[in-house]
């Protein structure tokens, strides 16, 4: 029987989506503008993310199919399936915008490269990482991405160790509250960056690919159109009990979310403790300059290195998710290079047009927040069905928690729309 550690990995790769440049921009802006006010949003988002990512991985492991594949087989109307694909594809493109722009900003801060060139380099590196995944297999891809995850964690937590936050402010920030429409916008942005729709789609595929047994007919091979085997069949083909895989997955998701939650919280606390009220620090460039002036070149450089690793790792996971979305819902495959070049266009256009990169990052996370219900509601519904997961279907309390998370996120987005359009 394989050791537990060997089974860990997919959640750490999917967890990179929780540490993308959009997270950095949203959390830095929240800390710089509102201090410790939105600490509770980061904590709540991470708790909900644990449940959501576990359900996504469970679907992939038990059924041998990703969420897009499962939905593609269940949505019979071709126009409805295309409409669903379109919103999911727009979400994936919003993710790409955040990740490519973040990598471009990091290269500009570190080496003075023009943003457009930095975006092109970030996109090129993501293609290399995807080629590693397709040619060397999921395990090698995991090793590379987890290495980048370590760089991200060091880069974004070092500053908090050098300049610790105010403990009383952190505790006060755990009390849920808002201060005007701007704080609601940032809360939606933080949640969109924390609970990312493309991570929900990707994690089910990553878990499927990692534990796909021969003959299971997953999309990793050429037999994706074959009927999905029953959970008992998959367990027999793998030679590993499904219950053992799910137990390992809970550890995998827990480790990934602890890392992601700690780093996200550190980003907000670093800004709240050192950048609150400092002019210009609501942008990545301004935050870097303030960190350089206030805490020294080591903290500022590590921050920029973390941002670069974040962009490089998360854009490859985002591209992987986009390819899975297209294949699962439209049942077509586009050559990797062609698809990656197309999805890079919006980010490169924004960089070429001179649009404020930090504002683009924050707004992209709001777009992601609106895409969450379209991924989350089907996920909760599917994982609660006996016909889909058999005896591994959700317990009643798990389904209730998933429904509560969905209702909260939809209510937050509705409140955001009301505040923005009424000027309240």
Could you give the angle at which helices 357-383 and 21-34 cross, rounded to 10 degrees? 110
Rounded to an integer, the average pLDDT of 369-396 is 90
C-alpha to C-alpha distance for 53 and 292, rounded to whole angstroms: 36
What is the share, in percent, of the chain residues with pLDDT greater than 70? Answer: 88
Rounded to an integer, the average pLDDT of 384-399 is 92
C-alpha to C-alpha distance for 314 and 98, rounded to whole angstroms: 9
Rounded to an integer, the average pLDDT of 156-161 is 89
What 125-132 contacts at long range (C-beta under 8 Å, 24+ apart), as own/partner pairs, is 125/312, 125/315, 125/316, 126/99, 126/312, 126/315, 126/316, 126/319, 126/340, 127/319, 127/336, 127/337, 127/340, 129/312, 129/313, 129/316, 130/316, 130/319, 130/320, 130/336, 130/340, 131/336
In the numeric block, which tokens belong to residue 161?
A: 């160790």
Rounded to an integer, the average pLDDT of 233-248 is 71
pLDDT tens, residue by residue, 134-147: 777 777 877 888 88
pLDDT band per the 50, 70, 90 thresholds, residue 248: confident
Predicted local confidence at residue 219, as pLDDT = 43
Predicted local confidence at residue 223, as pLDDT = 35
Residue 397 pLDDT > 50 = yes
C-alpha to C-alpha distance for 59 and 374, rounded to whole angstroms: 16
C-alpha to C-alpha distance for 220 and 327, rounded to whole angstroms: 10
Predicted local confidence at residue 232, as pLDDT = 53
277-308 in b/e form (b: 16+ CB < 10 A) is ebeebbbbebbbbbbbeebeeebbbbbbbbbb
pLDDT band per the 50, 70, 90 thresholds, residue 357: confident
Residues 122, 228: contact at Cβ < 8 Å? no
Query: Comparing 51-65, 101-115, 277-291, which segment has the lowest mean pLDDT?
Result: 277-291
Residue 14 pLDDT > 90 = no
Considering all CA atoms of the chain, what is the largest pairwise distance in Å, rounded to the nearest integer?
61
C-alpha to C-alpha distance for 19 and 244, rounded to whole angstroms: 28
266 C-beta neighbours (distance < 10 Å), count: 20
pLDDT tens, residue by residue, 259-282: 989 999 999 999 999 888 777 776
pLDDT tens, residue by residue, 213-224: 544 444 433 334
C-alpha to C-alpha distance for 203 and 257, rounded to whole angstroms: 13
One-letter-per-residue 3-state SS of 284-299: HHHHHHHHHHHHCHHH
pLDDT tens, residue by residue, 44-67: 989 998 999 999 999 999 998 999
Give me the residue spans of the domains in the chain. Answer: 4-422
What is the share, in percent, of the chain residues with pLDDT greater than 90? Answer: 27
Query: Comparing 63-67, 86-90, 195-199, 411-415, which segment has the lowest mean pLDDT?
Result: 411-415
Q: Is 423 exposed, middle or buried (0-12, 13-18, 19+ CB in 10 A)?
A: exposed
pLDDT band per the 50, 70, 90 thresholds, residue 80: very high
Report the mean per-residue pLDDT for the chain: 83
Residue 381 pLDDT > 90 = yes
pLDDT band per the 50, 70, 90 thresholds, residue 395: very high
Residues 263, 19: contact at Cβ < 8 Å? yes
Name the superfamily (CATH) of residues 4-422: Amino acid/polyamine transporter I (1.20.1740.10)
192 or 302, higher pLDDT: 302
What 118-121 contacts at long range (C-beta under 8 Å, 24+ apart), as own/partner pairs, is 118/351, 119/344, 119/347, 119/348, 119/351, 120/344, 120/348
Predicted local confidence at residue 241, as pLDDT = 80
C-alpha to C-alpha distance for 78 and 56, rounded to whole angstroms: 24
Predicted local confidence at residue 226, as pLDDT = 44
């Amino acid at each position: 029987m394989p050791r537990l550690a060997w089974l860990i990995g997919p959640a750490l790769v999917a967890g990179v989506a929780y540490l993308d440049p959009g997270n950095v921009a949203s959390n830095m802006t929240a800390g710089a503008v509102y201090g410790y006010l939105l600490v509770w949003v980061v904590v709540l988002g991470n708790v909900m993310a644990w449940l959501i990512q576990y359900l996504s991985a469970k679907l992939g492991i038990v059924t041998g199919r990703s969420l897009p594949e499962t939905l593609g087989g269940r949505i019979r109307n071709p126009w409805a399936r295309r409409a669903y694909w379109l919103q999911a594809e727009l979400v994936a493109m919003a993710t790409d915008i955040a990740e490519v722009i973040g990598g471009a900003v990091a290269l500009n801060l570190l080496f003075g490269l023009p943003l457009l060139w930095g975006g092109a380099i970030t996109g090129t590196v993501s293609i290399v990482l995807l080629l590693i995944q397709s040619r060397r297999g999921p395990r090698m891809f995991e090793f590379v991405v987890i290495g980048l995850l370590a760089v991200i964690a060091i880069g974004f937590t070092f500053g908090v160790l050098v300049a610790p936050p105010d403990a009383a402010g952190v505790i006060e920030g755990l009390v849920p509250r808002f201060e005007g429409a701007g704080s609601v916008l940032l809360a939606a942005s933080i949640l969109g960056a924390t609970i990312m729709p493309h991570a929900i789609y990707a994690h089910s595929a990553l878990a499927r690919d990692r534990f796909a047994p021969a003959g299971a007919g997953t999309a990793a091979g050429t037999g994706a159109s074959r009927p999905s085997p029953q959970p008992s069949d998959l367990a027999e083909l793998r030679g590993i009990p499904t219950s053992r895989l799910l137990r390992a997955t809970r550890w995998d998701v827990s480790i990934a979310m602890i890392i992601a939650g700690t780093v996200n919280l550190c980003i907000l606390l670093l800004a709240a403790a050192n950048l609150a009220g400092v002019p210009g620090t609501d942008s990545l460039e301004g935050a870097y300059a303030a960190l350089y002036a206030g805490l020294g070149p080591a903290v500022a450089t590590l921050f920029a290195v973390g941002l670069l690793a974040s962009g490089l790792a998360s854009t490859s996971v985002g591209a992987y998710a986009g390819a899975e979305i297209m294949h699962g819902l439209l049942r077509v495959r586009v050559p990797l290079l062609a698809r990656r070049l197309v999805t890079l266009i919006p980010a490169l256009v924004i960089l070429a047009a001179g649009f404020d990169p930090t504002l683009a990052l924050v707004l992209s996370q709001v777009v992601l927040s609106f895409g969450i219900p379209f991924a989350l509601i089907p996920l909760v519904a599917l994982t609660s069905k006996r016909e889909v997961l058999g005896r591994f279907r959700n317990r009643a309390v798990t389904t209730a928690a998933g429904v509560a998370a969905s209702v909260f996120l939809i209510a937050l987005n509705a409140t955001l729309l009301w505040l923005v359009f009424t000027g309240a």
